[in-house]
Chain A
Amino acid sequence: MSDSTKVRSDTADQTQAGVTRASVLPVAEIVTLYAASILAALVVSALLVEITGGSWRTVFSALLDGSIRNPGRWGTTIGTAIPLLLVALGTIVNAKAGLVNIGQEGQLLVGGAFGAYVMIHLDAPGTVVFVALVAAAIVGGAVWAGIAAVLRYWRNVPEVLTTLLLVSVAAQLVGFGFKRESILLAPLPEGSATQVQQTVPVPEGARLSRVTVLGNEFPISAFVALALAAFLAFVLARTVWGFRLRMLGRNPRTAHRAGVSSQRYGIVAMLISGAFAGLAGAFMLTGGDFGSYRFSPNFAVNIGWTGLLVALVARERALFAIVIAFVFAGLRTGSGFLASTGVERRITDVVQALLVLALLVPPAVLFVRERRRAASATRART
């Protein structure tokens, strides 16, 4: 061990090696860049509100009320953040493997549909129904992502496009399920003339229990999601599997030589990614914050897309995704309070997308700068 400390002090003095730790992290610069980018996104959003006759102050205030300030609201925001976080975690897995999955909206919907189907047709005690529902949803999401993965490795079809196209197919598949009572559709309630496209509600015993903290209520799946985030962060950073997955994503040829099968790891990564989306669907169905325990054709309500954006902002860091999921969930729950301001609630979609775009800028700038610095210092004489 004394040997190793010697090495460290030696190498620390090697300015010739080019990059020292300090030059990699110009902290003030990074903070300024991020702050400026976020500010720019917010200013553009505020301008949009003002142009369409709204007031950004009232909008901001309403968003704050709806997301955290009013009684019980942050509980609702947590409830919304759960599926966002789960979708984001799945996205991190496929991104680490160097694959692009942007069809979580469809995977979540199919997962929800699988879960709902099992829930409707399984006559069993609540707990059993719950477990079967979750398992089915996981399978559903995984299958939907798996199609894209298999086509990628078997037929060379870009998964970025397949996952997208499968979102549209998923919507129609679910729509078909609501054509028949034998699949998803709830029987016509007595005395009612209009058929609503939805399932029967999840039976009481198969619902997630909800906890109340300081007057805020949310389902216990929140803890599951947090645990999964921590577990995933650990798996990716510290296990052999996570190590090999990252290797594959960063340099597939080196990984192949080192014994990582791109097919095996890639397909598994996509299955996991879809499974997370399916799990998000299962928790939405049983959690109570979405669709009052019923599955319906527009069940996914953009949670897949937004969860994807969470992952993009979190940049492959599972623990950071927790924070972003909460922020984006807040924008969503806050938007429910916008009706009184006269501003169309979809402004929050715009804000989210603008934030994503703005947050692309600082890492890109820093990446180029860092690498250039390293490249010029190390290749100076070639």
Chain B
Amino acid sequence: MTDGLLAGTGVTAPVPAVSLEGITKRFGAIVACDAVDLDLHRGRIHGVLGENGAGKSTLMKMMIGLVFPDDGAIFVDGIRCYITDPQVAAGHGIAMVHQHFSLVDPLTVWENIALGDGGRLDPGDVRERVGEISEHYGLAIDPDARVGDLPAGLRQRVEIIKCLRRDPDILIFDEPTSVLTPEESVQLFDSLRRVVTDEGRAVALVSHKLDEIIQATDDVTIMRQGVVVDRLRTVDADTPMLARSMVGRPVSLRSERAAFGVLDPSVEGPDEPAAPITAEEPVLRVVDAVVHGRHGQASLDGFSLDVRPGEIVGVAGVEDNGQAELADVLSSLVTLQRGHVEVDATTVAAGRPGAMARAGVAVIPADRHDSGIVLDMTVAENLILVDPKRMARAGVLDSDLVRNLALRLIDEFEIQCWGPDAPLWSLSGGNQQRVVLARELSHQPKVLVAAQPTRGLDVGAIEYMTERLRRAAEDGVGVVLISSELEEILDLSHRIVVMSRGRVIGEMGRADVDRDRLALMLGGRAA
């Protein structure tokens, strides 16, 4: 049994599989990682915990050669290494399962798994190896399936096999459960345990979810603002303590539960979200919507949803079950094969440019770069994207009007930038998100669709965003919260619908939430 993680106790331990010493990485004025030490040991799962933006991803990227450290040293089995690119990392037996997949959709499973290897391409050999790995770890997969046709859970399986195929000594998992059902997550951690105990590999599990760290890891290192603030054995840790250490101040797990991924019922406070006004007619109705996806299968398959003014409806579900298409429909980006959308009892032509926005549907898209902002335009321009006519006289934009609006919104939403004329690409992700929020709320919407609104934001920004969503609902806006983070849904919603394979498979009021039933439904079973 190793004690190496108890740094500073003077206990000598076997040589760690990977040892990071004094790793520092600066980006401009910002220090992403500041003299970080980290040891990964064979046979152990090491959790790296931190809020979004704490520097944990950067740290992992340096281990696999996507980022090169400014200072410090990396030792693999006690030997100093210079990991300049992912190939070198692979040579040292380090591999990573990426948060955003490294898969190429039109290629087959075996082609994807062979991608990035060296040497001659031997399809038979790759297929055989895929078969062996799937069998050994219980990760069944068809090597000739096209990756683009697979659901997110299976795609991650491909990713893991791709990783294991190179027989790495050290595996890094970056936020692996965001695309998995609770059941699949349990399976994943079972496989991980086997990888670690039976085969003596070292695993790093990067996460911002406290529950996950507690359940799956042996050791945990906590990072905050680029610095390691704590390291301990997981058995010695509990949720409130980890949370405190992660944020650097005592926190109420109830109100900030969403940020920590905590489902533990014991930390749930008594104050459930206020019951919504139910008498009113729905402000948004999606009726029997059908949308066909890339390969002809239905991405939305008879989806229906009612949202009343002042109500926050959480659309829960594992990623890739039609949430993106739902958001696209409400952004006028796709047409419906069947069904219709009503706003205020008036049918809105889905897919017609700008129709939803004109009808009063505001959207905070999951990927703002895709349909929320124009990076090459200024902050001011991005703030008037949806309805520039309001800022114009006889078709000519009134620059004073635009500037004043921009200054007002920059102030009100605390957008950090050097002025209304700053190009949007010069803003940080969180501030870009605020630009979207400011614009969408400035139109006095009837409906607000927020798709994965807190993804990639740090705790402060998450609090701000959730507060804004609550306030919008209090002002009488019907809010649709689409999220794969169950905690976020539970934290905010008055009513929860569960989405699986493009349809609603269950619905419950916030007060009637039954976790077991919810978990079952997330797995795709009506309950």
Contacts and interface: CB of A to CB of B under 8 A. Distances in A.
A12 interface: yes
B411 A240 contact: no
B346 interface: no
Contacts of B358: 259
B267 interface: no
A239 B425 CA distance: 23
Interface stretch (B159-167, B416-424, B483-491): B416-424
Contacts of B29: 15-16, 377
28 contacts: A4-B403, A4-B404, A4-B411, A7-B410, A8-B407, A12-B419, A14-B418, A16-B30, A240-B392, A250-B374, A250-B376, A254-B371, A254-B374, A254-B385, A255-B353, A257-B354, A257-B357, A258-B353, A258-B354, A259-B353, A259-B354, A260-B354, A377-B428, A378-B428, A380-B30, A381-B53, A382-B53, A382-B58
Interface in B194-229: 225-226
B416 A16 contact: yes
A240 B374 CA distance: 16
A373 interface: yes
A166 to B, nearest CB: 28
Contact of B428 (A17, A256, A259, A373): A17
B54 A247 contact: no
Given A3-B411, A241-B395, 13 more contacts: A1-B404, A3-B408, A6-B411, A8-B419, A17-B431, A19-B418, A250-B374, A253-B370, A257-B371, A258-B385, A259-B358, A259-B386, A377-B28
Contacts of A172: none
A165 B456 CA distance: 46
A377 B389 contact: no
A332 B28 CA distance: 47
Interface in A258-276: 258-262
A11 B411 CA distance: 9
A374 B425 contact: yes
A372 to B, nearest CB: 10
Contacts of A14: 416-418
A257 B408 contact: no
- Chain B, interface size: which category? 35 or more
B381 interface: yes
A228 to B, nearest CB: 17
Given A239-B395, A378-B428, A380-B28, A11 B416 contact: yes
Interface in B379-420: 381, 385-389, 392, 395-397, 399, 403-404, 407-408, 410-411, 416-419
A3 B373 contact: no
Nearest to A252: B371
Interface string B274-304: 0000000000000000000000000000000
Nearest to A16: B416
A58 interface: no
Nearest to B358: A259
B456 A247 contact: no
Residues of A contacting B: mostly: helix
A15 B354 CA distance: 36
A379 B372 CA distance: 18
B332 interface: yes
A250 B375 contact: yes
B414 to A, nearest CB: 10
Contacts of B386: 257-259
B455 to A, nearest CB: 11
B407 A17 contact: no
B323 interface: no
B377 interface: yes
B28 A254 contact: no
A382 B353 contact: no
Please give me the 4 A-B residue pairs with the lowest Cβ-Cβ distance, nearest first.
A259-B354, A4-B407, A378-B428, A380-B27
Contacts of A259: 332, 353-355, 357-358, 386
B419 A18 contact: no
B23 interface: no
B43 interface: no
Contact of A379 (B333, B354, B395, B429): B429
B465 interface: no
Contact of A17 (B353, B354, B403, B427): B427
A376 interface: yes
A21 B27 contact: no
A44 interface: no
Given A258-B354, A378-B429, A253 B333 contact: yes
B426 A18 contact: yes
Contacts of B418: 11-12, 14, 17, 19-21
A378 B377 CA distance: 17
A382 B395 contact: no
Interface in A6-36: 6-8, 11-12, 14-21, 24
B32 interface: yes
Nearest to A381: B53
A261 B371 CA distance: 14
B500 interface: no
Name which of B331, B370, B372, B388 has the most chain A CB atoms within 10 A of its CB. B388
B176 interface: no
